[in-house]
């Protein structure tokens, strides 16, 4: 195994790395099941061996992120995904049998799942381990070689990730690319056999345009505004508990964090009061609590403060729900509820990606569902209700990447569920068997045996036979 992998950071280097990986893939175009399993096993072991190094690096890159939180939101779901892939790999790789038309008999047909070749993965800064290694798991399970473009905002984590993939897999399987926006732009223009990008919708447009230069198949994992709908029957204390959990993990810097709340006007104040209680229990010293995660950098903090300033200037009431500490400290911002902000405000147009939470009210559930339907399709939707009828209405009426009922955020850690958006929140999916198929080409194979019935149907046409075809063709 070649273990000389280094992080490439120039245009010439990344083109050269892609060419070399493509040559490696052509020499071994269909890695055996055991070879793929060994890759996943080595990756699993390397992640466990480097656990403390990863947790320390994440702490440095974020400024403050508790080891316990990083383990929970990055390593636990990632290791679960690796174990799931190893457990089901043989089943996924097995060709599926298909039926053949009666006119083709005797024959047999299969769909054969072939590695695409070299897969590009572009990962973001908010979950730098899960969202870089997670796609790698699916691509390796499908038998591909991989080039990873890591976020420039996580240099310490990147160094550990590079060590992990270098020693677990080597440069015959994975190459790591680092660099600023220009390098990311060049990376997305490479003629990959498949490209997966995780990031903002605005950058997703650019990535898709770049990939189109080579007709590169693409999976976009974007985000947008994931609503949390509180039905009239919901248990408000339980809703507040799970809402705070989903919103405050990673300080709201999560693509599927609840972006805004829709609740009945009679529920609003009670829900907010319960949220205050939960926040006080989570973070006794407010933003000064050691378990409260920092925003990744000053740019993100200033962006969120800009949303607050614009909303306040427009007359929107913005409540700090964490009065037990300062509103802001060391790249930390307290959770604020924004009461009924106008649709024209930036906080209602952009994905928030931080501890701000617009709360909107409705008088009838149909009104709330119509509000969600009229907006870009979300990556996730959260529904809190005790009524099966409400669940069915959301299942049928709202097109979203996922629907979670009576909880938030936990869908990401389900190894047997696909993850992906729809419309403005993305296209395609990975995780689970769907991830294996994303990174595989479903090639149809038809094997003909013995004589062919079609020989009787060729020119010169025998009228007697074709009269029978004309009479009975709709039964064939």
| Domain extent listing, the chain | 7-222+427-442, 226-420
Of 69-78, 210-219, 434-443, 461-470, minimum mean pLDDT range: 461-470
Whether the predicted pLDDT of 131 surpasses 90: yes
Q: What is the pLDDT of residue 450?
A: 84
Note whether 227 and 357 are within 8 A (CB). Answer: no
Whether the predicted pLDDT of 10 surpasses 90: no
Note whether 151 and 183 are within 8 A (CB). Answer: no
Q: List the one residue out of 62, 153, 66 whose CA is nearest residue 354.
A: 62
- CATH 2.40.37.20 describes domain 226-420: no
Active-site residue, selected from the candidate residues 154, 255, 263, 394 = 255
Confidence of residue 3 (pLDDT cuts 50, 70, 90): very low
Active-site residue, selected from the candidate residues 221, 263, 351, 394 = 221
Q: List the one residue out of 266, 235, 231, 230 whose CA is nearest residue 357.
A: 230
CATH of domain 7-222+427-442: 3.40.605.10
**263 labelled catalytic:** no
Q: What is the pLDDT of residue 341?
A: 97
User: Rounded distance, CA 282 to CA 212, Å?
Assistant: 46
Note whether 165 and 174 are within 8 A (CB). Answer: yes
Q: What is the pLDDT of residue 4?
A: 47
User: Rounded distance, CA 182 to CA 9, Å?
Assistant: 10
User: Rounded distance, CA 263 to CA 258, Å?
Assistant: 13
pLDDT in tens, 84-129: 999 999 999 999 999 998 878 899 999 999 999 999 999 999 999 9
The pairing of strands 194-198 and 218-221 is parallel
Whether the predicted pLDDT of 9 surpasses 80: no
For the whole model, what pTM was predicted?
Answer: 0.93
**255 labelled catalytic:** yes
Sign of CA pseudo-dihedral 328, 251, 196, 155: positive
Pair of tokens at residue 82: 């690796």
pLDDT in tens, 358-397: 999 999 999 999 999 999 999 999 999 999 999 999 999 9
């Amino acid at each position: 195994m070649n273990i000389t992998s280094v992080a490439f950071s120039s245009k010439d280097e990344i083109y050269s790395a892609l060419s070399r990986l493509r040559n490696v893939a052509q020499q071994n175009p269909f890695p055996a099941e055991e070879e793929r399993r060994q890759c996943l096993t080595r990756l699993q072991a390397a992640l466990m061996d480097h656990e403390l190094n990863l947790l320390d690096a994440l702490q440095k890159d974020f400024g403050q992120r508790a080891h316990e939180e990083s383990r929970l939101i990055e390593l636990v779901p990632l290791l679960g995904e690796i174990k799931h892939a190893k457990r089901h790999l043989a089943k996924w790789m097995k060709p599926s049998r298909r039926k053949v038309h009666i006119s083709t008999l005797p024959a047999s047909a299969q769909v054969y799942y072939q590695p695409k070749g070299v897969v590009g993965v572009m990962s973001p800064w908010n979950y730098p381990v899960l969202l870089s290694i997670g796609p790698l798991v699916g691509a390796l399970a499908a038998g591909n070689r991989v080039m990873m473009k890591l976020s420039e905002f996580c240099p310490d984590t990147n160094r550990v990730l590079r060590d992990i993939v270098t020693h677990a897999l080597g440069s015959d399987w994975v190459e790591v690319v680092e660099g600023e926006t220009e390098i990311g732009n060049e990376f997305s223009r490479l003629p990959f056999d498949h490209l997966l990008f995780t990031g903002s919708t605005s950058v997703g447009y650019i990535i898709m345009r770049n990939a189109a230069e080579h007709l590169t198949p693409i999976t976009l994992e974007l985000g947008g505004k994931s609503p949390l709908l509180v039905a009239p029957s919901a248990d408000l204390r339980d809703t507040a508990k799970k809402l705070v959990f989903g919103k405050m993990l990673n300080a709201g810097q999560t693509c599927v964090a609840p972006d805004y709340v829709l609740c009945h006007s009679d529920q609003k104040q009670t829900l907010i009061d319960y949220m205050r209680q939960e926040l006080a229990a989570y973070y006794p010293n407010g933003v000064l609590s050691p378990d409260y995660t920092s925003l990744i950098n000053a740019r993100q903090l200033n962006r969120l403060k800009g949303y607050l300033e614009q909303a306040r200037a427009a007359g929107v009431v913005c409540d700090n729900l964490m009065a037990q500490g300062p509103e802001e400290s060391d790249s930390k911002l307290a959770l604020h509820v924004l009461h009924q902000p106008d649709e024209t405000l930036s906080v209602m147009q952009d994905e928030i990606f931080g501890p701000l939470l617009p709360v909107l009210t409705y008088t009838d559930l149909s009104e709330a569902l119509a509000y969600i339907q009229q907006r870009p399709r979300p990556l996730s939707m959260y529904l809190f209700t005790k009524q099966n009828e409400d669940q069915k209405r959301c299942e049928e009426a709202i097109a979203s990447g996922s629907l979670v009922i009576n909880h938030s955020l936990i869908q990401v850690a389900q190894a047997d569920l696909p993850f992906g958006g729809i419309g403005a929140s993305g296209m395609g999916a990975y995780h689970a068997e769907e991830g294996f198929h994303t990174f595989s080409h479903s090639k149809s194979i038809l094997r003909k045996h013995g004589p062919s019935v079609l020989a009787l149907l060729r020119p010169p046409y025998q009228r007697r036979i074709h009269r029978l075809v004309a009479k009975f063709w709709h039964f064939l």
